[in-house]
Chain A
Amino acid sequence: MKRYLSRTFFLTFIMVPFFLGCADLMKIQDRDNHILTEKLQTKVKEYEKLDDLQLALFHWQIIGRLNPKDIKVEKKISNLKTKIDKEAKRHFNKGLVYYKQNSLESAQKEFLITLRYQPDHKDALFYLKERFNTNNYMKYTVKRGDTISKIAKTFYRNPHLYFPIAYFNDLNLAAILMPGTILKIITLEPMITEQLIDIEKELNVARDLLKRKKYNDTLPVLEKILDYDPTNSEAENLKNTAYYKMGEMLYLKKEYRSSLKMFKRVDPDYKGVKESISKVNLRFKKQADEHYRKGVKHYINEELKKAIEEWEKALTVYPAHQDAKKYIKATKRLLKKLDKIKDTN
């Protein structure tokens, strides 16, 4: 009896809820599938309208997985696959016809449409990626009696141009060519291309102008090179030299301010430039000292305004002149005090 009761208890309180729970879960899943299917079908309609058949197919396949018993979906998938295959084939064949007729633009369009229908269409991808891009070489099958020089003469009209043939085919220069071997004969392009700017030639022009001390004419040549090759260290170096030499020339002419401007355009690490800047600054300091001393004289003679004028001149020449700064402040304060005393009197 006890055994019977325990079995009943087990069935009623454990197994029944378990099966009911599982049934509920199945219902929930069915409801979810239905919602997802509706969502996917809305999207599919849009894709089909825009002829995005690959996207439509993928969505139909998901719908098919969610509704494995739906025969309509199965049929739809099958029809769509057939349509995609048919369209891809049709456009690829059209592309081939255009390609053979050398109508490359039309051929490209047809191959692209093929891939729009079937992104895995290897032949269409091959045509677009490989056939449309110019080949960098020709193929040559070695004949009996061929040598690398002989082939170079045939293709490059120069038997001495054997090295490119050997290099690109991994051949030893002394190798005996086996008849039937297929060789890559690379197009020799640098022979026919012209350099937009011959850097070496321009550098020589710049060097020559520098030698002849035509610094102003050198700079545009160097700028042209640096515009083309901003990393050209030789041009950068010559540019520094030109500015440095211009600075030195102006220094000798006692045009210290212009000279300093030139030195400051030179790379600070350029040999001698730091010393030259110090040299010009020293000149300015000397000039400023002269104004400073004149100012002191005026100060002693109680010509305070004239003293300030001189010290200001000193600062214009050499802004770091500390004594001039200090005395200007003090004298201005003194002038104020004197003005006040005058006013009270």
Chain B
Amino acid sequence: MWLKANKINSLFKYLSLFCILLPVLTACAAFSSKRIYKDFVIVKAKSEDSLSSLAGEYLKDMSKGWVIAQFNGIKNITTGEKLIIPIKPFDRGRLRIYGLQTVPILTYHRFSRKKADKMVVTEASFDAQMKYLKENGYHVIKLDQLLDLLNLKYQAQKKSVVITIDGGWRSCHEIAFPILKKYGFQATLFIYTDFIGRKKAMSWEQVKEMSENGFDIQCHSKTHRNLARLHGDETLNDYVKALDREISLSTKQIKQKLDKQCKYFAYPFGETNSMVIEVLKKYGYHAAFTITRGSNPFFINNFMIKRSVIYGTFNLREFKKNLIVFTKADLK
């Protein structure tokens, strides 16, 4: 009886020792596969890891797999490889002795199945342009990311580009939306609220559908009047009141319909002046967009951001000219 109790006692002892050692050994194994520091993490890639899964785990953003790829000079993950994942942005603005990063913003208006026009891009052309972006490693970023980049808070991929579509034309939903989805791109729609629901425009349901699919819906005024100029016999006092209406009512309607606060504004006809900018600031806008052709360095005025209108008459070569992602400058 005594002997039996003693056996049970020693068995219990070994079991408890095992229970203590097991976590210690596991911790040792984990220590060798992952080390976390303040600014970076070192991980040993497992077979189930991918660039996006690691980015999701350590950078809290699955779309940032390129950060890991770029820092480690790799395209894909090899199992067992030790990778360094930088947690903080390490190359903001991409300032070099020979130049700096610039971000092109492409602007579209209308689309058609076959007939091209200056402001109307055909389905085939748009598809070819998006295909070109996809196959050549361009990364479509959102306006929030662009603004962080312009304020030197965010590090964007080398070939970053923004896609915007102005107006709210029905063809944007019918033609552009499926093509953008096909290539996994999300665009920003600048809508003018009086147009939505009209014959050639999208309905609010269609705008909502695009918004729910990750498209950014932002403001393009209420009636699409030229905000930079006085109309007819308009007095200056009436002009200021009109500016307030154009900006406040459209912002309010988008908020009501989509429950989203607008932060970005596209000037109708791309024109602006100091009064328009001040009204936008009064309503809490963070940035506004012109249609001045060109790419944007980080130090661009946030209320004068350039965009390049892609005409329906452009061929692929002309389209490519608008994709300037680095501008030479002597910064020695």
B contact residues, range: 35 or more
B95 engages A229 (CB within 8 Å)? no
- Cβ proximity bits A167-204 to B, threshold 8 Å, 1 near / 0 not: 11000000000000000101111110101000110000
**Interface-central residue, B28, B92, B282, by most chain A CB under 10 Å:** B28
Say if the beta carbon of A65 comes within 8 Å of chain B.
yes
B42 engages A36 (CB within 8 Å)? yes
Say if the beta carbon of A113 comes within 8 Å of chain B.
yes
Say if the beta carbon of A220 comes within 8 Å of chain B.
no
B229 engages A193 (CB within 8 Å)? yes
B229 engages A32 (CB within 8 Å)? no
In the complex, which residues of chain B have a beta carbon less than 8 angstroms from the beta carbon of A184? Answer: 278
Say if the beta carbon of A22 comes within 8 Å of chain B.
yes
Say if the beta carbon of B236 comes within 8 Å of chain A.
yes
In the complex, which residues of chain B have a beta carbon less than 8 angstroms from the beta carbon of A229? Answer: 224, 269
Binds A, one of B29-37, B52-60, B250-258: B29-37
Q: Which of B37, B152, B228, B244 contacts A115 (CB 8 A)?
A: B152
B236 engages A163 (CB within 8 Å)? yes
Cα–Cα distance between A36 and B73 once the two chains are bound (Å): 13
- Cβ proximity bits A218-252 to B, threshold 8 Å, 1 near / 0 not: 00000000011111010000000000000000000
Q: Which of B100, B301, B302 contacts A112 (CB 8 A)?
A: B100
Say if the beta carbon of A97 comes within 8 Å of chain B.
no
In chain B, residues 264-308, which have Cβ atoms closer than 8 Å to a Cβ of chain A?
Answer: 269, 273-275, 277-278, 282, 299, 301-302, 304
A168 engages B278 (CB within 8 Å)? yes
Report the minimal beta-carbon distance from A128 to chain B, rounded to whole angstroms.
4
B152 engages A119 (CB within 8 Å)? yes
A164 engages B237 (CB within 8 Å)? yes
In the complex, which residues of chain B have a beta carbon less than 8 angstroms from the beta carbon of A168? Answer: 278, 282
Question: Contacts A32-B82, A193-B229, A193-B273 hold; do A133 and B304 have CB atoms under 8 A apart?
Answer: yes
Question: Contacts A22-B28, A189-B228 hold; do A14 and B21 have CB atoms under 8 A apart?
Answer: yes
A58 engages B39 (CB within 8 Å)? yes
**Interface-central residue, A10, A22, A36, A164, by most chain B CB under 10 Å:** A164
B273 engages A50 (CB within 8 Å)? no
B32 engages A29 (CB within 8 Å)? yes
Cα–Cα distance between A32 and B80 once the two chains are bound (Å): 11
Q: Which of B84, B167, B229 contacts A62 (CB 8 A)?
A: B84
Report the minimal beta-carbon distance from A13 to chain B, rounded to whole angstroms.
10
In the complex, which residues of chain B have a beta carbon less than 8 angstroms from the beta carbon of A129? Answer: 151, 299, 301-302
Report the minimal beta-carbon distance from A265 to chain B, rounded to whole angstroms.
13
- Cβ proximity bits B86-101 to A, threshold 8 Å, 1 near / 0 not: 1000111101110010
Say if the beta carbon of A55 comes within 8 Å of chain B.
yes
In chain A, residues 108-143, which have Cβ atoms closer than 8 Å to a Cβ of chain B?
Answer: 108-109, 112-113, 115-116, 119, 125, 128-129, 132-134, 136-137
Say if the beta carbon of A341 comes within 8 Å of chain B.
no
In the complex, which residues of chain A have a beta carbon less than 8 angstroms from the beta carbon of B167? Answer: 230-231
In the complex, which residues of chain A have a beta carbon less than 8 angstroms from the beta carbon of B269? Answer: 228-229
In chain B, residues 43-94, which have Cβ atoms closer than 8 Å to a Cβ of chain A?
Answer: 82, 84, 86, 90-93
B109 engages A230 (CB within 8 Å)? yes
B32 engages A190 (CB within 8 Å)? no
Q: Which of A25, A35, A163 contacts B31 (CB 8 A)?
A: A25
B109 engages A189 (CB within 8 Å)? no
A116 engages B39 (CB within 8 Å)? no
Cα–Cα distance between A55 and B240 once the two chains are bound (Å): 49
A163 engages B229 (CB within 8 Å)? no
Say if the beta carbon of A6 comes within 8 Å of chain B.
yes
Say if the beta carbon of B177 comes within 8 Å of chain A.
no
Say if the beta carbon of A16 comes within 8 Å of chain B.
no
Say if the beta carbon of A303 comes within 8 Å of chain B.
no
A28 engages B244 (CB within 8 Å)? no
Q: Which of A22, A35, A167, A190 contacts B228 (CB 8 A)?
A: A190
In the complex, which residues of chain B have a beta carbon less than 8 angstroms from the beta carbon of A52? Answer: 96-97
Question: Contacts A51-B97, A229-B269, A231-B167 hold; do A164 and B240 have CB atoms under 8 A apart?
Answer: yes
In the complex, which residues of chain B have a beta carbon less than 8 angstroms from the beta carbon of A186? Answer: 274-275, 278
A58 engages B90 (CB within 8 Å)? yes
21 contacts between A and B (CB under 8 A): A6-B10, A25-B31, A28-B32, A50-B97, A52-B97, A54-B90, A58-B86, A62-B37, A112-B329, A113-B331, A115-B152, A133-B304, A136-B278, A164-B236, A189-B273, A190-B229, A190-B230, A200-B232, A229-B269, A230-B119, A231-B195
List of 3 A-B pairs having minimum Cβ-Cβ separation, nearest first: A136-B274, A189-B273, A116-B95
Chain B interfacial positions (CB closer than 8 Å to A): 10, 14, 17-18, 21, 24-25, 28-29, 31-32, 37, 39-40, 42, 82, 84, 86, 90-93, 95-97, 100, 109-110, 118-119, 151-152, 167, 192, 195, 198-199, 224, 226, 228-232, 236-237, 239-241, 244, 269, 273-275, 277-278, 282, 299, 301-302, 304, 329-332
